[in-house]
Amino acid sequence: MAKDRYLKKENSVVIGIFIIWCIAIYIAFLSYPTGVFEKALAIFKEQNVKNSAAAMFLPILVVVLAGFISPENKARLVFWRYKYALPGHRAFSKLAPNDPRIDMQALTEKMGDSLPHSPKQQNSKWYSLYKNYAGSITVVQSQKHFLLARDLSSISFLFAAFGPLGLLFTQSFNGALIYGFVMVIHYIILAIVAQNHGKRFVCNVLAEFSNDQKAGKSTLKT
């Protein structure tokens, strides 16, 4: 948990900049259809300053928006699955066999000649391995990138879901529709990025384990 909080703190700067960008797009659409994207860039440049009012309240916005959706629902939004959304639920059945870095024979032998089959068992076994390799550079970096992309996609979803409702009261239906489309594109792109980083994160743990000469059945018990 301490490491998760550390990684989230490291990501908070990028999340803050992204929130400013999303707010700039929203404000720019208040003047739709006149120079929307030019105005968005101008607002973004103006607000992305150290001593601006936005910068003062940005840490609060980061905490609120990044924490508004639960981790379980963030996983659903990213991986587009309601049940067993996390990539760890498919770690041994789908992800590991498709990663050339992972020695499946060594992995099977170290797991006790039997890989877990059910999604719940797969995620549980993967997590037990993750705890042993949480300090690995490749694992830490991929986890950091996954958490960042996951939070950015979740924030994009919030703007895509609620932003058009606000614009409907001040703008035309077309303006709200185009704004919603722009933010949905943000969300889809970032969700795909998060999916790739999440799968990489899971596979990095398994790659560390399968290629660890000292690892064996006892590793799973720690």
Distance of CA 120 to the CA centre of its chain: 21
**In angstroms, rounded to a whole number, what is the distance separating the alpha carbons of residues 213 and 110?**
10
Lowest mean pLDDT among 2-6, 74-78, 97-101, 212-216: 2-6
Query: What's the confidence (pLDDT) of residue 222?
Result: 46
Q: Give per-residue burial for 123-138: e unless 16+ CB within 10 Å, then b.
A: bebbeebbebbeebeb
pLDDT confidence tier of residue 53, bands split at 50, 70 and 90: low
Query: What's the confidence (pLDDT) of residue 57?
Result: 64
> What's the whole-model pTM score?
0.83
pLDDT > 90 fraction of the chain, expressed in percent and rounded: 46
Query: What's the confidence (pLDDT) of residue 216?
Result: 58
Mean pLDDT, all residues of the chain: 83
Choose from 1-10, 17-26, 60-69 the range with maximum mean pLDDT: 17-26
User: Given phi > 0 = left and psi -120 to 50 = alpha, else beta, which region is 216?
Assistant: beta
Once rounded to an integer, what is the mean pLDDT over residues 16-43?
Answer: 73
What would the pLDDT profile of 57-113 be if each residue is shown by its tens digit?
Answer: 666 767 787 788 999 999 999 999 999 999 999 999 999 999 999 988 888 888 876
186 contacts 160 by C-beta, under 8 angstroms: yes
**In angstroms, rounded to a whole number, what is the distance separating the alpha carbons of residues 109 and 103?**
10
**In angstroms, rounded to a whole number, what is the distance separating the alpha carbons of residues 67 and 80?**
19
**In angstroms, rounded to a whole number, what is the distance separating the alpha carbons of residues 218 and 45?**
54
User: Residue 67 is which amino acid?
Assistant: G
What would the pLDDT profile of 135-176 be if each residue is shown by its tens digit?
Answer: 999 999 999 999 999 999 999 999 999 988 888 777 678 878
Query: What's the confidence (pLDDT) of residue 83?
Result: 95
Looking at the predicted structure, is the pLDDT value of residue 118 above 80? yes
Distance set, CA 163 to CA 76, 152, 175, 180 (Å): 21, 16, 11, 7
